[in-house]
Structure 1
Amino acid sequence: MSVPLLPGERTRLGRYELLGRLGEGGMGTVYLGRDRDGRKVAIKMVRPEFSYDAEFRGRFRSEVNRARQVPPFSTAEVLDADPDHDPPYLVVEYVDGPSLAAVVREQGPLSPSALHGVAVGIATALSAIHGAGVIHRDLKPANVLFAMGGIKVIDFGIARAFEATSQHTRTDQIVGTVGYMAPERFEPGNGRQVTSAADIFAWGVVVAYAATGRTPFAADSAPGTAMRILTQPPDLSGLTGPLRDLVDRALVKDPDERPTARALLDALLDGNTPPAGTTAVLASAALAARDSLPVPGGDPGEAQGAARPEKRRRSRLLGVGAAAATLVVLLGVGVAALQALGPRGDDTGGSPATSAPTGPSPTNGRAVPAAPDPDTPILQGTRRTLIHIAEIDRDLALDLHSYEVEASDGTGTKSQFALVPMGVEYLIKSLRGEGRADDSETCLGVKITLDGPSSLVAAACNPTQATLFSLDRTGARDDKNRPTYYLHNETHGFVQWSTQRKAVIVEWVGDATPSSTFSLVDRGAL
């Protein structure tokens, strides 16, 4: 799902028309584009500051050449790139489907059959990626999509270019999401090179998340999560059967002791009987695809040299064409079969989850999560709202002087907000300066503090990791019978009221339930 381009953004890039924004992260912005033949594509435009780094451009070109060699089944195919453009960009197949993160967030943990299909699909993708000498480096649920034909893994192939540039080394930046990073990723000074085993570790975390709705090393902060990854065994409670043993093996601390992607795929398809249901139908197709996968000649962490000739690539792809075609049709669970991805049969949590509607809303052309009235207009971004803290009967407000979010009595425009849909997430726009010509748009964002939990403050209304929030229904209602939600940021954690600090904070809660829930109070049309 895309959102409109920002005012002043370019509408064309080379031979591509830019239609909207798909997302933004530390490496750059992803746009929805259309080529001259009318096909939709995803275009990752690198942050402008990298345009001046010759080392980055060289690594970017090398990584793109490798990514082009990845067979395009269970992965988003690399279609085009221009490392010499200002700024550089990469064009890949556009996958129109929800992410694993969105499905688990909205529907809960996967059923056993769907879980096995996801595990097989990701292992197949990693086998193809590693066979081409590429390491993903940022495998996480948000990068696993349910396409029309099956599982697609996206955002592989160029992370190393960012992580290895001198600019990133100087600022100690590592590409990845903490909860899914292997122990060796946190120890860059140990002399060991990051290898494909880091992706295997991430596979284990992703499968555990899909099975339980939480990551196996979750703590109440990013440093706490990293410390658990380095020193503690994974918490795999809730994950049972043969898949648990595979995940346990993938999560060992020593990268040399982890199985390869090919070994995972062999075990999933040969060593264990798939659970009855969806994956029983797909096993033969996945086996055919596995047998067609290239076998790496060496570890992709050490692969060097130029890309393989185009003639060899075409020959290899023609040789696996039949198996790939079968796989695309059968492997995984596509959008048309999302009902099969429902909550696990042993899930005892609250009311049944409801999936997001597939069609656009009538007001803004974006899909919005299904919600009971009267919240739908608020979630569509057409009504102003209070964000009510149910447990303390107070409302979020943006202080006019400190620009920090506080709990208030709900009076005045400082307590009024508008939700701006951004796919399955939202910008939370403050209406405190509404009508003032000298006041630019202000949204809420997360501010990281060194001596305690993060806080919620005023920020520019640009979609970033700090300003995008999810509203996850709890299944309960407040004292006025309004539906309640958990409010959380994918990178920084849950928005909560701290009774100890008497302040609004943002932090991860580990395996605990967030202490604060929120309801939406309609305050009229925008």
Structure 2
Amino acid sequence: MIGRLGEGGMGTVYLAQAPDGLLVAIKVVRTDLADDEEFRRRFRSEVDRARQVPPFCTAEVLDADPDHEMPYFVVEYVDGPSLATVVRDKGPLSQSNLHGLAIGVATALTAIHGAGVIHRDLKPNNVLLAAGSPKVIDFGIAHSVQGTSGHTRTDQIVGTISYMAPERFGSAGAGSAPVTPAADIFSWGAVIAYAGTGRTPFGSDAAPVVAARILTSPPDLTGLSGMLRGLVEQALAKDPADRPTARELLEQLLGPGPARSPDLAAALARQPDLLVAAEEAQATGRTAAVVLGANETTRIAPPPGPQKADVAISASPVPATSAPAISAPATSALLTSAPPNRGRRWGRAALVVVAVAALVTSLTIVGIASGAIDLPSSSAGRSPAPSTVAQTASPTADPLGPVVIADPLSVEKLWHPKDDKPNNASCTFAGALIVTRSTGGSYRCLGPQDVIADFTATVDVKLRDEGSCAAVWFRFDGSGYALRICADAYSLVAHGATGAAAIKELGRFPLTTPIAYGKATTVGIAAAGTNLTFTRDGQPVGGLTDNMFNKGRVVLGIFQESKPETPPPYSVLFSNIEIRKPAG
């Protein structure tokens, strides 16, 4: 232990040094909360989710013990001031720095939403301006996309008023729609507006007044211009359906290399790590369907939204945040709204009614700057309307174990197309998933974000062009295993263990009969603890024991040598993927 960094609503943060010399931040939970079993359950689930978020522009969770006498978790120490501190002390960011910030926060949301998490409290205090790239922190009040009711009471909203989406003000009442990642996109817009102008886009008056403006008034974006202003306006749309996803934001922010603005090019030139993180996040997408009502479904397109623990980690002390309670008169009609969904638009009259309710109904706000807002329930004892998440595949009672992912890959479903001209690669569909690349190196297609430890998987692979090698990454989370499938051999490599492009071959398995170009073969992978085995058309090819990676995503793509002997083009096809977890 080196010293105390600060204190928040959930506990105390300490600076410490790991045995290998790495500086880390340790958050120790308050004693009164540690004795609360409900809190321990919530803390345990939050830590589990935080570990699933790829460390793209986020502070990585390194260790945790939710069951310790004094529960704690350890995260990467981020040496840098908060965005709030920088803007307060030095004013709005320059255009170049603002572009870099917008990309970094969108990258973090892409990673977090892709892991099935919603941040719910994205604000300038939770964005640290570290060397290399911005970092989004504080996932302590995050809730899984798959369980929005979780451990938060039905009469409680968690967040920070000035950065909260309009639908959040109706999410605490019984029967309201669940919060979706679109709420984080609204917060992204408010954060970028603050960074570019030095003020919040809906003013800094009393909380009910700010809430009313968020619901009824356009944002004040004076001082923003160009592409960023347009994206911020989209992100601050009143209707969640009108906002882009985090991945869409990221793709628009990055744009094609030749067409990048001077400000963007300057930001990326100064922060090469930021570009690497953004491209990694782009390559790891998923689409989930969240059922909002009886027949109302909205798609959460690949990556938007963060999660981590309730801790701000920076070089300077982190002050405890608190604010006096603000009360107004009395009723429970407070800030209710229709569920957000594609195709539905909020009527202006409805918004005005809701805004008036915000100003004249009973509202006790606890911790305006950071914390929970307790709202009176509209019906005592009523349970919230359940939310349902459409699964990628229905589990089956099968001795081989339940199917968790199944996709014929004939059209876009769980995997997604992408035309990536800057990287000379593409993922398309024409009866199969076709991955092409005209240069050496690897390329991964956007697919499910399910984090899996032990599993069995089969997928039909066709090497279309001579010299092409397909690959299946598994237990992959920015780094992991990759099984390369070439005509003459399988080979297993560790990809990204010591750097984004680092490759170490762990084993090579020659094929008795080479794979014929243009003819499909069924590739099988089984991972059980440290035992990894591989098959071809159901017959063993080889295997090994290794403990470098223990869980992560399954990803499909192409994997050429950095300097291939065979000239391009290179293309491989995938179809009929099925992934099962172990029986029992």
TM-score range, shorter chain: 0.5 to 0.7
Correspondence for 1:308: 451
TM-score, with length taken from structure 1 = 0.53
Query: Residues 274 and 280 of structure 1 are in contact (CA less than 8 Å); yes or no, is this contact kept in structure 2?
Result: no
State the shift of 1:191 in Å: 1.2
2: distance between equivalents of 1:310 and 1:218?
47
1:225 counterpart = 2:386: no
Q: Within 2, Cα distance between the matches of 1:237 and 1:39? A: 43
In the other structure, the counterpart of 1:101 is: 84
Q: Is the 8 Å Cα contact of residues 70 and 132 (structure 1) preserved in structure 2?
A: yes
Specify the code of the residue in structure 2 equivalent to 1:169: R
Query: What is the Cα deviation at residue 96 of structure 1?
Result: 0.7
Alignment of structure 1 residues 372-521 onto 2, 5 Å? none
> Displacement, 1:79?
0.7
- CA contact 2:128–2:134 (8 Å) conserved in 1: yes
User: Does residue 266 of structure 2 align to residue 278 of structure 1?
Assistant: yes
Checking the alignment, whether the CA contact within 8 Å between 1:130 and 1:296 is kept in structure 2 is no
**Aligned: 1:295 with 2:286:** yes
Q: Could you tell me whether the CA contact under 8 Å between 1:55 and 1:165 is conserved in 2?
A: no
* Distance across 2 between alignment mates of 1:76 and 1:101: 17
- Residue by residue over 1:324-362, the C-alpha shift from the partner in whole angstroms, topping out at 9 and shown as x without a partner, is 9569xxxxxxxxxxxxxxxxxxxxxxxxxxxxxxxxxxx
Within-5 A mapping of 1:54-453: 54-156=37-139, 158-160=141-143, 169=153, 172-187=155-170, 188-189=172-173, 191-270=176-255, 273-276=260-263, 278-281=266-269, 282=272, 285=276, 288-298=279-289, 299=300, 308-310=451-453, 314-318=475-479, 325=499
In 2, Cα distance between equivalents of 1:105 and 1:302 = 42
Report the Cα offset of residue 217 of structure 1. 0.8
**How many pairs align?**
308
How many percent of aligned residue pairs carry the same amino acid? 58
Equivalent position SS for 2:52: coil
The offset of 1:84, in angstroms, is 1.3
Q: 1:225 to 1:302 in 2, by over 3 A?
A: farther
TM-score, with structure 2 as normaliser? 0.48
Distance in 2 between residues matched to 1:110 and 1:140, nearest whole Å:
16
For 2:478, give the aligned amino acid.
L
Partner AA of 2:476 in structure 1: S
Contact 1:32 1:42 in 2 (8 A): yes
> Could you say if the C-alpha distance between residues 183 and 29 of structure 1 is closer, same or farther in structure 2, counting changes exceeding 3 Å?
farther
Please state if 1:41 is matched with 2:24. yes
Question: CA–CA distance in 2 between the matches of 1:302 and 1:71?
Answer: 24
After the TM superposition, which of the residue ranges 25-34 and 231-240 deviates more from structure 2? Answer: 25-34
SS of 1:317 mapped into structure 2? coil
Equivalent residue of 2:153, what SS? helix
CA deviation vs aligned residue, 1:52-109 (integer Å, no higher than 9, x gap): 3333322322222121111112111011111112342221100011111111111111
Q: Distance in 2 between matches of 1:200 and 1:184?
A: 12
Distance change (3 Å), C-alpha of 1:91 and 1:286: closer
* Deviation of 1:164 (Å): 6.0
Listed as ranges, the gaps of 5+ residues in structure 2 are: 290-299, 306-386, 392-403, 405-449, 455-472, 482-494, 502-584
5+ residue gaps, structure 1: 1-16, 328-526
Letter in 1 for 2:246: A
2:451, 2:475 within 8 Å by CA — same for their partners in 1? no
Query: Would you say the 8 A contact 1:289–1:323 is kept in 2?
Result: no
Q: Is the CA contact 2:82–2:126 (under 8 Å) kept in the aligned structure 1?
A: yes
Distance verdict in 2 for CA 1:148–1:304, change over 3 Å? farther
Please tell me whether Structure 1 or Structure 2 has the larger radius of gyration of its CA atoms. Answer: 2
The verdict on how the C-alpha distance between 1:176 and 1:302 changes in structure 2, with shifts beyond 3 A counting, is: farther
Structure having the larger proportion of residues in strand:
2
CA distance in 2, matches of 1:89, 1:53: 14
Q: Is the 8 A contact 2:121 2:159 kept in 1?
A: yes
Asked whether the equivalents of residues 198 and 255 of structure 1 are also in contact (C-alpha less than 8 Å), the reply is yes
Which residue does 2:348 correspond to in 1? none
Distance in 1, Cα, partners of 2:167 & 2:82? 27
Change in CA separation of 1:286 and 1:29 when aligned onto 2, cut-off 3 Å: closer
Judging changes above 3 Å, is the alpha-carbon distance between structure 1 residues 27 and 160 closer, same or farther for their aligned structure 2 residues? Answer: farther
Aligned residue type for 2:266: T
In the aligned structure 2, how far is the partner of 1:232 from the partner of 1:67? 35
